[in-house]
């Protein structure tokens, strides 16, 4: 069959000779030793996934994140995935306290965790939410700075402004944990 000319098959031709659909170089369907179907790479990721730059994960700002702050980042990335990873939707990611609690962040650690990810430059709050009666309640809207956002798909990467850790000074609030804070009080 010439690559410039496309020939279409009808149902009778396929039923008469099903081998037409197989490419002559195609291997027979089999499985490897681990039971995985042939032709499927082990590196294949079957569903949506979120990525983080290794440079960001090596950064001093990322290394000092608390567990609740990391959970907040994870929950916001899930919210971005639910919006289809669209750059136009980043900046309008609604997330309520209840959603953070359902994800596993302790209620008392949500506000400090949000302040932490904002201070370290991973997140911006685009609209502050408010609690109240049903008609006056609004969720906080977030923007992930390390993901593309807006129509120009600009990436802010606010976390890069945090310098080298050098010799970290533990703050009085984190002295018990013994973790560096980069001199930022959150």
Q: Which residue has the higher pLDDT, 87 or 38?
A: 87
- Provide the percentage of residues in the chain whose pLDDT is more than 70: 65
Half-sphere exposure of 144 (CA within 13 A, CB side): 29
Q: Please give the domain boundaries of the chain with CATH numbers for all domains.
A: 54-174 (1.10.10.10)
State how far the Cα of 69 lies from the Cα of 117, in Å rounded to an integer.
6
Q: Are the C-beta atoms of 38 and 30 separated by less than 8 Å?
A: yes
Strands ordered across the beta sheet of 123-127: 93-95, 140-144, 123-127
pLDDT at 185 over 80: no
pLDDT tens digits for 46-55? 778 888 889 9
pLDDT of residue 141: 95
pLDDT of residue 133: 81
State how far the Cα of 4 lies from the Cα of 44, in Å rounded to an integer.
32
State how far the Cα of 159 lies from the Cα of 62, in Å rounded to an integer.
8
**If you average pLDDT over residues 52-76, what whole number do you get?**
93
pLDDT at 25 over 60: no
Handedness of CA 118, 121, 123, 125 (dihedral sign): positive
**If you average pLDDT over residues 10-26, what whole number do you get?**
67
pLDDT of residue 11: 73
pLDDT tens digits for 75-93? 999 999 998 888 889 989 9
Q: Are the C-beta atoms of 65 and 120 separated by less than 8 Å?
A: yes
Q: Which residue has the higher pLDDT, 181 or 21?
A: 21
3-class DSSP string for 102-169 = HHCCCHHHHHHHHHHHHHCCCEEEEECCECCCCCCCECEEEEECCCCECCCCECCCHHHHCCCCCCCC
State how far the Cα of 95 lies from the Cα of 178, in Å rounded to an integer.
31
pLDDT at 71 over 90: yes
pLDDT of residue 163: 73
State how far the Cα of 149 lies from the Cα of 121, in Å rounded to an integer.
15
Report the predicted TM-score, pTM, of the whole model to 2 decimal places. Answer: 0.64
């Amino acid at each position: 069959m010439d690559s410039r000319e496309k020939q279409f098959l009808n149902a009778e031709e396929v039923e008469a000779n099903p081998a037409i659909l197989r490419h002559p170089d195609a291997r027979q369907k089999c499985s490897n030793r681990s039971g995985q179907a042939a032709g499927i790479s082990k590196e294949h990721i079957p569903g949506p996934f979120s990525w983080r730059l290794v440079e960001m994960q090596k950064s001093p700002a990322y290394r000092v994140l608390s567990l609740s702050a990391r959970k907040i980042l994870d929950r916001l990335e899930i919210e971005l995935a639910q919006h289809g990873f669209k750059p136009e939707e980043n900046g309008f990611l609604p997330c309520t306290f209840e959603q953070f609690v359902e994800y596993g962040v302790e209620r008392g650690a949500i506000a400090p965790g949000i302040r932490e990810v904002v201070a370290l430059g991973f997140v911006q709050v685009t609209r502050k939410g408010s609690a109240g009666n049903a008609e006056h309640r609004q969720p906080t809207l977030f923007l992930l700075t390390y993901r593309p956002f807006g129509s120009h798909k600009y990436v802010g990467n606010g976390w890069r402004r945090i310098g080298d850790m050098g010799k970290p000074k533990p703050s009085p609030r984190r002295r018990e944990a013994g973790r560096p804070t980069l001199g930022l009080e959150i």
